[in-house]
Structure 1
Amino acid sequence: MNVEKIIRNNPVGIPEPVGKYTHITKIPRNAELYVTSGQIGIDKNGLIPDDMNEQIGNTFENIQKVLQSDNLSPDNIIKVNIWATENIDWQYFDSKWEKLFGTNYPAMTIGYIVKLGLPEIKIEIEIWAAKI
């Protein structure tokens, strides 16, 4: 019996990832695709804290809530796009990243940009997921 699953791979012959991501993710045919709007660091009261790490923590909480709303888990995540307007504290970010993914990393892109949709937003994370 052939069980379809999401496959993550770092191909031989190219440099290892420089971060906690996978170079390529293969999604089986007929999988349902989910794309989120960018999740930001807004808290449950509708406030966006000034501190970048607080925004990162809130963003990861919001990602988990969005996933749960459609019965998705971090294993369903196939691609993550991260946009930030200031330097990311990678030690803090990675602690949240590893709590969400363990070591089953999705494909990822990170970009530093001048600004996001509102002046107080410092980080926005977009998720692509697939369910088989």
Structure 2
Amino acid sequence: MKMKRIMRTNPTTMPQPVGNYTHITKIPRNAELFVLSGQIGTDIEGHLPKAFNAQVRNTFQNIQSALQTENLNATNIIKVNIWAVEPIDWDYFDEEWDLFFPKEYPAMTIGYISALGLPEIKIEVEIWAANS
């Protein structure tokens, strides 16, 4: 039996997204769900750069590595939660985002908060994925 694929839509009865995300992501019945802990911008040795954009770059690399361990990729991502403690450089972030998601965008939430788990962490990204 062929599994249905993850469907993403932006209903015409709603305003279009203000960024690179999708309003509705539908996961097929019997899909396997994967929830990644919030990923931060440490490098492979565990060092956390001070620069916000360097943390963004490393965070996307860490997400990619985590997905690969489960034979997943960006098309499997259904929801992204982004938490930042300072304003996001959207020009840089969108470049990294579009490299990561070249076609279809997942559902997304962005929140600015006063602190993350350690004082030096500037951004954390939580991923939900499904394998249909």
> Please, what TM-score do these two structures have when normalized by structure 1?
0.97
How many positions carry a matched residue from both structures? 132
Q: Give the structure 2 partner of residue 56 of structure 1.
A: 56
Q: Deviations over 1:90-112 (max 9, x none)?
A: 01101110001113100000000
Q: Give the structure 2 partner of residue 94 of structure 1.
A: 94
What is the CA distance between 1:3 and its match in structure 2? Answer: 5.0
Which consecutive unaligned segments of at least 5 residues does structure 2 have?
none
Inter-partner Cα distance in structure 2 for 1:31 and 1:3: 8
What is the CA distance between 1:2 and its match in structure 2? Answer: 6.6
Q: Percent identity?
A: 64
> What pairs with 1:66-81 in structure 2 (closer than 5 Å)?
66-81=66-81
Inter-partner Cα distance in structure 1 for 2:51 and 2:24: 33
What is the CA distance between 1:12 and its match in structure 2? Answer: 1.2
AA matched with 1:19 = G
Inter-partner Cα distance in structure 1 for 2:104 and 2:42: 26
Q: Deviations over 1:51-90 (max 9, x none)?
A: 0000000000000000000000100000000000000000
Which consecutive unaligned segments of at least 5 residues does structure 1 have?
none
> What pairs with 1:15-34 in structure 2 (closer than 5 Å)?
15-34=15-34
Aligned residues: CA RMSD = 1.1
Q: Deviations over 1:4-35 (max 9, x none)?
A: 01000001111000000000000000000000
Structure 1 ranges of 4+ moved more than 4 A: none
Q: Give the structure 2 partner of residue 40 of structure 1.
A: 40
